[in-house]
A = this chain, B = another copy of it.
């Protein structure tokens, strides 16, 4: 097959706020080849990601992603791996290319899986997929009381595990301790409690470490993204100071090496990969293999639609011991409506990666129209991008 076209659908809620809620917009990608289509989603800023596909070339090492992808051969997994290397080289100086490519790569696995009638996780090399224990991924409440209520609510919905993240966490030690206590109280003694600091401590290891006592006492399983995504030394120092709590991170990785470095130098106990940023399913699968060899637990990072959730489950679907997975529970309506089928917890509170061809998720044509953001980009008087009509 030859890749005939790559279409980008920029979708957004009517109102987008400064909440740390990644489901307020979406960049959905459709790759067409051999009369088939596959779908992916970039976990990225839509407009710059579209620009990275359509922009004129700057020079040989700063080519648009389209230059490598359009017209390329796609007959099997080896083609996807080869194209990944070519995009990395040809778009070396185009920073946003990694995020653009991520959604395209994902769509290619979906397309190949549909073509061969096998799930993507089988194409990645797994024989069997194991159930995962979803943790409800929510934001902290504005007050400890709100956090307590949110934790109880998640427990009431059947979640054994919950992750609380972002503001107001990090604003004051007293407040943080109150939120940690509240989250544990709401979740109950046996719940799995996870904390996401959203990089709020920058590189300040001491400030982050001040929260460790309250975390140990509240039996927090992991302390996610205390620092800037590239601050491996700060991660490493904090990791050396924890006892029962482990550090977690990796969502900022936009290539495989960054995730491996966070394991080796940041000494994280949990590596969290977003397939919509790291370059898709294949680098994520390589990180999962690497994590396993290093005794680190692999987890997906997902805060968008079920299309992205399915994609991010594929790379560790076959790892039986890596059981917890991120499961966004307070999605904006756009992210809910985007797919016609959904991944939902079963009676045991567990979820399963779809056992259907490709990613096993159907994109809703209605949502592509309903939430469409109209974009037109002209360069040198010529329209190089306009919102595709579904």
Binding site for B on A (CB under 8 A): 12, 16-22, 24-25, 43-52, 54-64, 85, 88-89, 92-96, 98-99, 166, 198-199, 202-203, 228-233, 252, 254-255, 257-258, 260-261, 264-265, 277, 373-381
Nearest first, the 4 A-B pairs at minimum CB distance are A47-B55, A18-B60, A96-B96, A230-B257
- Does the CB pair A379–B257 fall under 8 Å? no
Chain B residues contacting A378 (CB-CB under 8 Å) are: 374-377
Interface of A is mostly: loop
Interface pair B376/A380, CB less than 8 Å apart: no
Interface residue from B61, B199, B254 paired with A198 (Cβ < 8 Å): B61
> Are A58 and B85 interface neighbours, CB within 8 A?
no
In the complex, A16→B58 CA distance in Å?
7
Knowing A16-B58, A16-B59, the reply to whether A376 touches B377 (Cβ < 8 A) is yes
Q: Which residues of B contact A381 (CB under 8 A)?
A: 374
Are A62 and B95 touching (Cβ within 8 A)? no
Complex CA gap A361/B24 in Å reads 43
CA–CA, A373 and B62, complex, Å: 17
Distance, CA A258 to CA B49, complexed state (A): 22
The answer to whether residues A202 and B85 also contact, given A46-B58, A48-B52, A261-B232 and a CB cut-off of 8 A, is yes
Q: With contacts A21-B59, A59-B20, A374-B381 known, is A265 near B261, CB below 8 A?
A: yes
CB–CB A47/B199 < 8 A? no
Given contact pairs A18-B60, A25-B58, A374-B378, enumerate 17 new A-B contacts (beta carbons under 8 Å).
A16-B58, A16-B59, A21-B60, A24-B59, A44-B93, A45-B58, A47-B379, A48-B94, A51-B51, A61-B198, A95-B277, A96-B96, A230-B255, A230-B261, A231-B257, A233-B260, A376-B378
A217 and B204 CA atoms in complex are apart in Å by 46
**B residues within 8 A CB of A95?**
44-45, 48, 95-96, 98-99, 254, 277
Q: List 6 A-B contacts (CB under 8 A).
A: A16-B56, A45-B58, A45-B94, A230-B258, A265-B265, A375-B379
Cβ of A85: which chain B residues have Cβ within 8 Å of it?
Answer: 202
Pair B44/A55 contact, Cβ less than 8 Å: no
Known interface pairs A92-B252, A252-B92; A47-B57 also in contact (CB < 8 Å): no
A265 to B61, CA, bound (A): 25
Closest B residue by C-beta to A88? B228
Which one of B60, B199, B376 lies within 8 Å of A19 (CB-CB)?
B60
Please, which residue of chain B has its CB at the minimum distance from the CB of A332? Answer: B59
Taking CB as reference atom, which chain B residue is nearest A200? B89
